Amino acid sequence: MSSGGQLPAEQPSGDSVLSAGARIAMQWRDLGADQLGAALRAMEPELRREHRERMMHLELRREAEQRQHEDRQQQRADRRHTVEVAVGAVIALAMLGGGVYVAPESWWLSVLLCGPSLLAIAKVFVLGRSDPEDMKSMSMAARTATNAAGQAQPPQSPPVL
């Protein structure tokens, strides 16, 4: 034992750069093998407890970092969805406004802008998916409107006086 009645491991160490194992080895270098073995066996439960505490602390930190990462991903997904809904709404309103604006001159163009294509575009931006049925209905509406426009009589111009 060292002076002061303390075990070498209990003595304060001014050298914080050395690892705990190196400090213990330096403090206990004068002890015999039997005394060193007994001291290490006595320290083992405390070292195990400190190790468990360090491992729990590291696990808690890892879980907190994982939660922060998941929260950031969720915020990005929410922000992206909000932008997609806003863009879809703007495009849908623009198509609807354009369809109403051109309706008196060319009804077939109004059908193209306000028909199934409007719903398909809104579905793509808001829900983020497009089904083959949407494309079929959109192409059928476009074909029907184009055929009707081709068969329609051009508007008569007013007589010149």
pLDDT digits (tens, 9 = 90+) for 3-35: 444 444 444 444 444 566 677 667 777 777 787
Q: Which residues contact 122 (CB under 8 A, 6 or more apart)?
A: 88, 89, 91, 92
Contact 141, 111 (CB under 8 A): yes
Selected residue with higher pLDDT from 57 and 47: 57
In a domain, residue 38? The reply is: no
Q: Is residue 36 part of a domain?
A: no
Does the pLDDT at position 155 exceed 60?
no
In a domain, 106, yes or no: yes
pLDDT, residue 17, reads 47
Burial category of 71 from C-beta neighbours within 10 Å (exposed 0-12, middle 13-18, buried 19 and up): exposed
pLDDT for residue 76: 96
Does the pLDDT of residue 128 top 60, yes or no? Answer: yes
Min mean pLDDT across 56-60, 92-96, 130-134 is at 130-134
Residue 138 lies in a domain: yes
- On whether residue 89 sits in a domain, the answer given is yes
Task: Tell me the residue range of the domain where 110 lies.
Answer: 79-151
Inside any domain, residue 83: yes
User: Both ends of the chain: CA-CA distance in Å?
Assistant: 127
Output the pLDDT for position 18: 56
Place of tokens 């806003």: 86
Answer yes or no: is pLDDT of 153 > 70: no
If one compares 55 and 31, the residue with the highest pLDDT of the two is: 55
Is 98 part of any domain? yes
85 vs 12 pLDDT, higher one = 85
User: Residue 2 — pLDDT band, cuts 50, 70, 90?
Assistant: very low
Domain count, the chain: 1
Q: What is the Cα–Cα distance from 126 to 143, expressed in whole angstroms?
A: 26
96 phi, psi to nearest 5 deg: -65, -45
Amino acid identity, position 70: E
Looking at residue 72, its pLDDT comes to 97
Flag whether 62 is in a domain.
Answer: no
Average pLDDT of the chain to the nearest whole number: 77
